[in-house]
Structures are given as C-alpha cells and as structure tokens.
Amino acid sequence: MSRVCITVDFEPDCPPYLSATFRGIEQGAPALLALFAERSIRATYFTTGEVAERYPEAIRAVVRDGHELGCHGVSHTAFDTLPEAEAQREIIDSARLLRTFAPVGSFRAPYLRFPEPYVRLLEDADFTLDSSLAKYKWSYLARRVPTTLTRVPASMTSSVLRLPAVLRNPVLLSLADPVVLFVHPWEFVDLTREDLRYDCRFRTGEVALRCLREVIELFQRRGARFVTMRELLPGASAA
C-alpha cells in the first residue's frame, strides 16, 4: 500500500499576492495541527526563515507535536530570480535559524522553482532531501544534476485538494507511491472574498479543512501509511 506524505508550506499568506500578512500562521495553523493530532498523522512543515523569526511559538508547536521541520528559504523568493551568492545566503540563513528549533535535512524551494545548478548549495548546507520538483510541471522532465540528495517530487498541486470529492478522489487514487501532497496554512483561513487569483481563494477556510480531513480519511481507509519526508530517505526505518 502506498505511503502518503502530507507537507505544509509554512509561509506568508498566498505569496506573492498577500506576502505581507500571516493570517495562515495565526489563524489557520492551529486548526491544521489539531486535525493532524486527531488523525494521528505526522506531517512535514517546509518553513520560511521569516515565519520562524516572527512566530517562533508556532514552530515550537509544530516540533512539539512530532512533525518534521523542513526548510523553505528565508523570504519566499523564487530561487530562479536569485544570483548564486544570494541563493546561497537564503539557504544558509534559513537553515541556520530553523536548526535552532530542530534537526532540518529536507528542503523545498518556494513556488517549486529551483535551478538545478543550485542543488549543490543544498549539499554544501548539509541537506539530505529536496522536494522542489513537481511531477505535474514541465520542469520535471528537465535534465537533473547528479547529487547525493534524495529527490522527492510533489505529486499534485495543492488547490486540487479543495475540489469536491467527486472530482478530487479519482485524481488522488491515481497517484503513484510515494504520494506527496502539500497545503498552506492560509488555505484554512476564509479568503473567498479577497481580491486574489481564483485558485488561491476558492473553497478556503472551513471547507478546505473539511476537504483535507476527507483526504486523510480516504487514504487511511485504504491502509496507506502516512510518513514524513525524512522517512522517505533510503534506509530510513519505518516509523
């Protein structure tokens, strides 16, 4: 049976549209933690340095509940807009801050956009796993650099999880092992009346939380095993 990895991109509200507010961290994150606790699931939180700096208590709550802390850069800037020295700064600074909370070995680039030559920067900063690739993007087919990192692509974009079950479930059940899903805390805040791109705001808030609960229950009914990113490393023991 398949392994399912729920990942949370722990970041500002729907960047780049609302990147100065953090309602997701303030209002969405507690409900998300409660849902994971209720379903006995451990997730992986790809966190920006900015969130860790502003909301250290939220990071401590994530770590306390046994979730894996991963790295999502400092400022949610797309790495393909950064020269190498700045990219390296983002990686080193965010890793250093996040590692004051917990061991951090997994990385995901904002917007799932990460130039292949920069993979070396992750090796230099002692990362062991990268989840910046996405199976549903054209860039997934591009040539990869050889690396010591384990590459774990995202299976599907996050807004699909908010679709009605009749549309969502056939897609979910067709995904190959390991199934890597991602959500954002701001999806669990009602943004339906915000002036935002449609896929950022549709069915956010209570509906999104209900959808995620249904998704978890769907996989649990089918005997899937929920794992964190580091449990996907070669040789990782089944927890």
Footprint on this chain of Zn ion (rule: CB under 5 A): 9, 11, 110
Q: What is the smallest separation between the CB atom of 45 and Zn ion, expressed in angstroms?
A: 11
SS (H, E, C) the chain: CCEEEEEEEECCECCCCECCCCHHHHHHHHHHHHHHHHCCCCCEEEECHHHHHHCHHHHHHHHHCCCEEEECCCCCCCHHHCCHHHHHHHHHHHHHHHCCCCCCCEECCHHHCCCHHHHHHHHHCCCCEECCCECCCHHHHCCCCCCCCEECCECCCHHHHHCCHHHHHHHHHCCCCCEEEEECHHHHCCCCCCCCCHHHHCCCCHHHHHHHHHHHHHHHHCCCEECCHHHHCCCCCCC
Q: What is the smallest separation between the CB atom of 238 and Zn ion, expressed in angstroms?
A: 29
Q: What is the smallest separation between the CB atom of 188 and Zn ion, expressed in angstroms?
A: 15
Minimum CB distance to Zn ion smaller for 49 or for 110? 110
Minimum CB distance to Zn ion smaller for 113 or for 135? 113
Q: What is the smallest separation between the CB atom of 110 and Zn ion, expressed in angstroms?
A: 4
Minimum CB distance to Zn ion smaller for 9 or for 187? 9
Minimum CB distance to Zn ion smaller for 110 or for 178? 110
Q: What is the smallest separation between the CB atom of 20 and Zn ion, expressed in angstroms?
A: 15
Minimum CB distance to Zn ion smaller for 1 or for 20? 20
Residue nearest to Zn ion (CB): 9
